[in-house]
Amino acid sequence: MSLRKYLDNIKPTFEKGGKLHAFRSVFDGLETFLYVPNTTSVSGTNIHDAIDSKRIMSFVVIALLPALLFGMYNIGYQNFAAAGKLAEASFWNMFMFGFLAVLPKLIVSYVVGLGIEFAWAQWKGEEIQEGYLVSGIIIPMIVPVSCPLWMLALACAFSVVFVKEIFGGTGMNIFNVAVAARMFLFFSYSSAMTGDRVWVATNSIFGLGNTLPDTFTAATPLGQLATGSMPDTSLADMIIGFIPGSIGETSVIAIAIGAVILLWTGIASWKTMGSVFAGGIVMAVLFHALGMTPIQWYEHIVLGGFCFGAVFMATDPVTSARTETGKYYYGFFIGALAVIVRVMNPGFPEGMMLAIFFGNMIAPLIDYCVVQCNISRRAKRVTNEK
């Protein structure tokens, strides 16, 4: 417990009147992140779970790691595949290249997002709510690898300030912070977020990887679909994740590992997650039967950000529907809308981001309807008994 002792030793410097009082929020945040605070409420009866929001977020970050690590490897894989040097490249070569490509994004995302959160907490004299722990790792995972760092920084700042802090901070936001960051990037700098030039890293980093010619293009399978051609990747590649795409979204297997962790620990709701898939499958089967989409329903599910969104973003407990029945409607709406956008709007090859955003928007309405239904049903029961 030397760390505990050390923290206790330096604690007074951060209290009011201490030398480093200006960094109180930083210290507070770190301390409660490392150790569950043992302070309890002084009034009323409260039931306290052993796990608090910071521990929940750590679990989500752990669940995201497989997808992130695979994403790094896939960046290297795509780069070497594009250069035609797949046979000579070792696993570590490819992974290190991807690691070096993603690391700056992670750092920028956390520095900007947490920086704003810490500063805000200090300014308002509040405790730090580390809601950004999860958003900070998701945001770099849902952008293309060639997304410039300044854009990422801007998007993080925008979403933390305008989507989270002005609504009252962690737990009060109506929109998912990571989705909002991607929306901002998508609508602000669409040429850097879609198309067939952004999905593969084209520059070598510290001598690792290959520099590809300027004319190099690689479309995502959904991008190919939107332009009217069939995706030329095999189903196995789609499931394992060896396709161009946003950093963390390509591998269904890595996401499935994360999903198991989330469901096993009970952090994500299986109702939301399952109904997102149900909605997507129903819609995709319907569209395929109507001849509006050339690919099968299972390809719709494994391609693009569908799995990533369903597992990590639609299940966000803050922005999803809170009533248990509402979760079914909420998830189904998101899954169905994602496929509808993909198939019916040629301007958007991928619809998961928009679907989750709209889902967040109507989640309070769903909750309201579910609660009102319940009330009127019970009221009827009472009047019938009389």
Partner 1 sequence: MSLFSKQNKEAFINPLNLDNPILVQVLGICSALAVTSQLKPAIVMGLAVTIITAFSNVIIASIRKTIPMRIRIIVQLVVVAALVTIVSQILKAVAYDVSVQLSVYVGLIITNCILMGRLEAFAMMNKPWPSFLDGVGNGLGYALILVIVGAFRELLGRGSLLGFQLIPQSVYDAGYMNNGMMTMPAMALILVGCVIWVHRAYFYKEK
**Smallest distance, partner 1 to C-beta of residue 189, A:** 5
Query: Could you give the CA distance from residue 93 to residue 73 in angstroms, rounded to a whole number?
Result: 9
Q: Cα 111 vs. chain centroid, distance in angstroms? A: 17
- Comparison of 7 and 151: residue with beta carbon closer to partner 1: 151
Residue 192 in contact with partner 1, rule: CB under 8 A:
yes
Selected from 23, 189, 277, 348, the binder of partner 1 by CB under 8 A is 189
- Comparison of 192 and 253: residue with beta carbon closer to partner 1: 192
Residue 206 in contact with partner 1, rule: CB under 8 A:
no
Q: How far, CA to CA in Å, does 269 sit from each of 158, 201, 322, 328?
A: 28, 35, 10, 10
**Smallest distance, partner 1 to C-beta of residue 246, A:** 19
Size of the site for partner 1 (CB under 8 A): 11
Selected from 87, 187, 213, 236, the binder of partner 1 by CB under 8 A is 187
Region binding partner 1 by CB under 8 A among candidate stretches 64-72, 106-114, 190-198, 201-209: 190-198
Region binding partner 1 by CB under 8 A among candidate stretches 182-190, 289-297, 319-327, 369-377: 182-190
**Smallest distance, partner 1 to C-beta of residue 161, A:** 10
Contacting partner 1 within 295-354 (CB under 8 A): none
Region binding partner 1 by CB under 8 A among candidate stretches 185-193, 241-249, 278-286, 322-330: 185-193
Region binding partner 1 by CB under 8 A among candidate stretches 186-194, 302-310, 325-333, 361-369: 186-194
Binding track over 130-159 against partner 1, x by CB under 8 A: ------------------x-xx--------
Selected from 59, 95, 99, 184, the binder of partner 1 by CB under 8 A is 184
Four-residue CA torsion sign, 376, 378, 380, 382: negative
Region binding partner 1 by CB under 8 A among candidate stretches 183-191, 245-253, 295-303, 346-354: 183-191
Residue 29 near residue 128, CB atoms below 8 Å: yes
Contacting partner 1 within 35-54 (CB under 8 A): none
Written as six digits, the tokens of 249 are 């979204």
- Comparison of 183 and 302: residue with beta carbon closer to partner 1: 183
**Smallest distance, partner 1 to C-beta of residue 142, A:** 17
Selected from 9, 191, 383, 384, the binder of partner 1 by CB under 8 A is 191
Task: Encode 54-63: b = buried (16+ Cβ within 10 Å), e = exposed.
Answer: bebbebbeeb
Residue 121 near residue 170, CB atoms below 8 Å: no
**Smallest distance, partner 1 to C-beta of residue 202, A:** 14
**Smallest distance, partner 1 to C-beta of residue 148, A:** 6
- Comparison of 134 and 155: residue with beta carbon closer to partner 1: 155
- Comparison of 187 and 206: residue with beta carbon closer to partner 1: 187
**Smallest distance, partner 1 to C-beta of residue 158, A:** 9
Query: Could you give the CA distance from residue 179 to residue 314 in angstroms, rounded to a whole number?
Result: 10
- Comparison of 190 and 296: residue with beta carbon closer to partner 1: 190
- Comparison of 178 and 343: residue with beta carbon closer to partner 1: 178
Residues engaged in binding partner 1 (CB under 8 A): 148, 150-151, 162, 184, 187-192
